[in-house]
Structure 1
Amino acid sequence: MNITYTATTSADADTLVEIRILAMKESLERIGRFDAQRARDRFLASFDPSLCRYIVTDGTTVGFVVVRPMADHVLLDHLYVLPEHQGKGIGASVLRDVVADANSKSMPIKVGALRGSDSNRFYQRSDFVKVDEGEWDIYYVRAAHLETKP
């Protein structure tokens, strides 16, 4: 599997919202929180195309990732893989890239995951530790690890 990343532009906003909704719909419905308009509004309120990248696997767009550099950490703001491409290791591969980049800067990574979604186990398996909870989200941090070479 060959994963690459391509830039997004403001013109991609509707496509990105659609990917977000498709990726989150099942989890949001499970907790009675699915609202397509709210999902759209929340994404667009902070959309910065310079921070967003499509995830492309073997020439097919399968999702997107948004990483925001902050003063004292890296915020993994969005990581969505379309349902038909989930469970194939794509998210794990993208997360490894995010972790490697954060480690190269000696920065911890923070992320929020919807309560009750499979993403909670995904982050916990990747050395993220729960640090807080909100009404709808659980927040995690992954400490910075310095890369050491043998």
Structure 2
Amino acid sequence: MVDWEIRPASAADVEAVAELRAEVLRADLERLGRYDEQRVRQRLRDAFAPAHTWVIEVGGAFAGCVSLRPAEDAHWLEHFYLAAHLQGSGIGTAVLRGLLERCDRVGTLVRLNVLQGSPARRLYERHGFTPESEDPVDVFMVREPNRDAAREPVA
């Protein structure tokens, strides 16, 4: 696996994240007839919450991001993007495993949505996510916490 690090995001990361989102989602959004080059970036800018986001770096350079946003009954896994040349390298799996372990320790349900037909769905299913509902564009998935994990606060 490639050597990588994860760090807390800052407001200064928003444009790099917006650009990566546009690149990563383009093929799926085009397939669904939903790609708009301004909208794909603006939706990220409007929803970006640095306090709940981490940046993935490879060799000190921006390579991806992920958010874990607390909500009333769960945490929402959002904005999980990794540069295309690093997909399949094990980084996404390692990042996801670490976040899910944190949620398991406190018994937190995790929700997400993934675009219909996205290969990312297989990653989520391998980590225990199951479909909860879907529409023509999105599949909404949920993962129950691993009840065997020790209970301690999410840092």
TM-score by length of 1: 0.91
Measure the CA separation in 2 of the matches of 1:93 and 1:73: 21
SS for the counterpart of 1:117 is coil
SS for the counterpart of 1:5 is strand
Measure the CA separation in 1 of the matches of 2:122 and 2:149: 27
Measure the CA separation in 1 of the matches of 2:71 and 2:97: 19
Question: CA distance change for structure 1 residues 62 and 147 in 2, over 3 Å: closer, same or farther?
Answer: farther
Name the residue aligned to 1:43.
44
Name the residue aligned to 1:56.
57
SS for the counterpart of 1:77 is strand
For structure 2, list consecutive stretches of 5 or more residues without a partner in the other structure: 151-155
Alignment of structure 1 residues 1-150 onto 2, 5 Å: 1-148=2-149
State the Cα distance separating 1:58 from its structure 2 match: 4.2
State the Cα distance separating 1:120 from its structure 2 match: 1.4
Q: Is the 8 A contact 2:65 2:79 kept in 1?
A: yes
Measure the CA separation in 1 of the matches of 2:114 and 2:21: 13
- Equivalent pairs: percent with the same residue? 30
TM-score by length of 2: 0.88
State the Cα distance separating 1:130 from its structure 2 match: 0.3
Name the residue aligned to 2:153.
none
- How many residues of Structure 1 are paired with residues of Structure 2 in the alignment? 149
Measure the CA separation in 2 of the matches of 1:90 and 1:15: 18
Measure the CA separation in 2 of the matches of 1:148 and 1:49: 27
CA deviations over 1:90-140 (Å, ceiling 9, x no partner) = 111111011101001100110100011111122112111100012310010
State the Cα distance separating 1:142 from its structure 2 match: 0.6
State the Cα distance separating 1:50 from its structure 2 match: 1.3
Q: Is the 8 A contact 2:18 2:42 kept in 1?
A: no
Q: Which amino acid aligns with 2:64?
A: G
State the Cα distance separating 1:146 from its structure 2 match: 2.4
| Moved >4 Å (runs of 4+) | none
State the Cα distance separating 1:4 from its structure 2 match: 2.1
Instruction: Report the RMSD for the aligned CA atoms in angstroms.
Output: 1.6
Q: Is the 8 A contact 2:132 2:140 kept in 1?
A: yes
Q: Which amino acid aligns with 2:31?
A: R
Measure the CA separation in 1 of the matches of 2:135 and 2:142: 15
Measure the CA separation in 1 of the matches of 2:133 and 2:64: 27
CA deviations over 1:18-71 (Å, ceiling 9, x no partner) = 011111112212222211211112112211111111112343321001110122
